[in-house]
Amino acid sequence: MSHIFPRHCKANPPVIARGEGVYLYDQSGKQYLDGSGGAAVSCLGHGDAQVTAAIKAQLDRVAFAHTGFFTSEPAEQLADALIARAPEGIERVYLVSGGSEAMEAALKLARQYFVERGEGQRRHVIARRQSYHGNTLGALATGGNEWRRAPFAPLMVETSHIAPCYAYRGQQDGESPETYGLRVADELETEIKRLGEDSVFAFVAEPVVGATLGAVAPVPGYFKRIREICDRYGVLLILDEVMCGMGRTGTLFACEQDGVRPDIIAVAKGLGAGYQPIGAMLCSGAIYDTIASGSGFFQHGHTYVGHPTTAAAALAVLQRLTDDGLVNRAAEMGDRLKTALIEAFGDHPHVGDIRGRGLFLGLEIVQDPDSKAPFAPELAKNKALKKAAFEAGLICYPMGGTIDGRRGDHILLAPPFILEDQHIDEIVGKLQIAFDQCL
Ligand code: PMP
């Protein structure tokens, strides 16, 4: 009997043996194309020699030293490298162990910033429905995913949720994308006014929504309006780029493409590319300066903050992404993969939408593309597709987002940026097998 507490108690997954490039191999020798990089993690694929060498070199120097006593070269260099490439105004980096921690730190920093400014009455966070920001209690409270929240609701801080920017389902007949974007962005202002004009400390959103909607990018102008509203009411804008950041959408930070200047950004997954568990919370100079000249101490911190070995790994990942041109490659190969998906499945009787940016692509599976009616939730099409694709040797990330209160079906594709044209053919071919079996 296994003593592992598994992700799903009834699951009996194969044992992973090794990885090479875009492929993973289980102990029986079966090969899987990692079409989703796990959960949009493995942006460099498996067995990257540069990253592995950087980790080994750091282990030979020193694996860990607590930030209560020391800083480290890799942490300093990683922070410099991130800030050199971050949106204007972002000046400080706080290194953590993953995405939920990055979001937790972001929320606490935003709240502490206002407390230090004497605005402790700001205690509300506004986020969006059908969002995911992590599984720790603060991040979970921020997320708008009802079924994840339900068991823990009594333990969580109150959060308001407005509509996501989800044109496929939200844009009305005769409405332009721009008008739709402004309409849903304006829900933020309505909610701020409802809660009290000086009672909200942060608005939280993923620039491109991953886990809950399946690679849904905003319409043009949406985030510009969000920024205006945040500025009007002095609310901090926290962008969660845990999944969509680090080059996944074709630019290092996803928000670059929307021309929006956040106050705080959370990144994780692609930052460590799966080689080490690391995340980061990046914040504006203004936020940092307020705390530095106030209490001088961010009231937060985990043992592994600024961990040198994870930082050495992330620094090497960042060098591969930027110096070796892999972010640009994500943009280019993403276009090719999207084109191939549209060619293969654009007219499929159960594919409602093919969307996303860069190598962050989603397919929405529907019962009827004309009415956009989803399949009945008990059919669990996304799970069936995941299983059939896995059996065919393709890893894709299935999701059951909530559509009008019901579970819908999406598949997320987020392959390593090193993929080649033949891998695109393999992804499409294996998805076809899964579609033929399940739809
Ligand atoms: N935010 C987003 C947008 C995510 O996709 C995730 C993970 N799926 C998280 C936060 C939480 O990250 P982690 O699982 O590393 O804690």
Count of domains forming the chain: 2
Q: Tell me, what CATH number does 184's domain have?
A: 3.40.640.10
Q: Give the pLDDT confidence score for residue 378 in this predicted structure.
A: 87
Residue 5 inside a domain? The answer is no
Q: How far is the CA of 218 from the centre of ligand 1 (A)?
A: 19
Average pLDDT over residues 101-122: 98
Ligand 1 binding pocket (C-beta < 6 A) is: 39, 98-100, 103, 132-134, 206, 210-211, 240, 242-243, 268
User: d(Cα 423, Cα 281) in Å, to the nearest integer?
Assistant: 33
Q: Give the pLDDT confidence score for residue 377 in this predicted structure.
A: 86
Q: How far is the CA of 154 from the centre of ligand 1 (A)?
A: 22
Residue 59 inside a domain? The answer is yes
Residues 317 and 400 placed together within one structural domain of the fold: no
pLDDT in tens, 15-25: 999 999 999 99
For residue 56, what are its two tokens? 């080994």
Question: What does the H/E/C string look like for the chain?
Answer: CCCCCCCCCCCCCCCEEEEEECEEEECCCCEEECCCHHHHCCCCCECCHHHHHHHHHHHHHCCCCCCCCCCCHHHHHHHHHHHHHCCCCEEEEEEECCHHHHHHHHHHHHHHHHHHCCCCCCCEEEEECCCCCCCCHHHHHHCCCHHHHHHHHHHCCCEEEECCCCHHHHCCCCCCHHHHHHHHHHHHHHHHHHHCCCCEEEEEECCCECCCCCCECCCCCHHHHHHHHHHHHCCEEEEEECCCCCCCCCCCCHHHHHCCCCCEEEECHHHHCCCCCCEEEEEEHHHHHHHHHCCCCCCCCCCCCCCHHHHHHHHHHHHHHHCCCHHHHHHHHHHHHHHHHHHHHCCCCCEEEEEEECCEEEEEECCECCCCECCCHHHCHHHHHHHHHHHCCECCEEECCEECCEECEEEEECCCCCCCHHHHHHHHHHHHHHHHHHC
Residue 275 inside a domain? The answer is yes
Interface confidence, given as ipTM, is: 0.99
For residue 397, what are its two tokens? 């990330």
Q: Give the pLDDT confidence score for residue 286 in this predicted structure.
A: 98
Residue 1 inside a domain? The answer is no
Q: Give the pLDDT confidence score for residue 404 in this predicted structure.
A: 66
Nearest ligand 1 atom to the CA of 211 is 5
Answer positive or negative: Cα dihedral of 334, 335, 340, 346.
positive
Average pLDDT over residues 299-304: 96
pLDDT at 412 over 90: yes
Residues 305 and 414 placed together within one structural domain of the fold: no
Residue 428 inside a domain? The answer is yes
Residues 57 and 24 placed together within one structural domain of the fold: no
Q: Is residue 181 a contact partner of residue 210, using CB atoms and an 8 Å limit?
A: no
User: d(Cα 253, Cα 84) in Å, to the nearest integer?
Assistant: 12
pLDDT in tens, 318-343: 999 999 999 999 999 999 999 999 99
Q: How far is the CA of 368 from the centre of ligand 1 (A)?
A: 31
Shortest-distance Cα residue to atom 13 of ligand 1: 99
- The overall average pLDDT reported for the chain is 96
Q: How far is the CA of 117 from the centre of ligand 1 (A)?
A: 30
Structural domain boundaries, residue 144: 52-322
Residues 184 and 85 placed together within one structural domain of the fold: yes
Average pLDDT over residues 422-428: 98
pLDDT in tens, 393-408: 999 999 876 666 667 8
pLDDT in tens, 22-39: 999 999 999 999 999 999
Last residue of a domain, one of 303, 322, 341: 322
Q: At what angle do helices 73-85 and 308-322 cross, to 10 degrees?
A: 40
Residues 170 and 74 placed together within one structural domain of the fold: yes
Q: How far is the CA of 170 from the centre of ligand 1 (A)?
A: 24
Residues 38 and 56 placed together within one structural domain of the fold: no
Shortest-distance Cα residue to atom 12 of ligand 1: 99
For residue 383, what are its two tokens? 């799970």
Nearest ligand 1 atom to the CA of 134 is 11
Residues 399 and 309 placed together within one structural domain of the fold: no
Last residue of a domain, one of 322, 340, 355: 322
Q: Tell me, what CATH number does 346's domain have?
A: 3.90.1150.10
Average pLDDT over residues 424-438: 98
Residue 419 inside a domain? The answer is yes
Residue 8 inside a domain? The answer is no
Average pLDDT over residues 36-50: 98
pLDDT at 69 over 90: yes
Tell me, yes or no, if the pTM score tops 0.95: yes
Q: How far is the CA of 92 from the centre of ligand 1 (A)?
A: 21
pLDDT in tens, 113-154: 999 999 999 999 999 998 999 999 999 999 998 888 899 999
pLDDT in tens, 172-198: 999 999 999 999 999 999 999 999 999
Residues 59 and 41 placed together within one structural domain of the fold: no
pLDDT in tens, 152-170: 999 998 899 999 999 999 9
Shortest-distance Cα residue to atom 5 of ligand 1: 243
Q: Give the pLDDT confidence score for residue 261 in this predicted structure.
A: 96
Residues 279 and 332 placed together within one structural domain of the fold: no
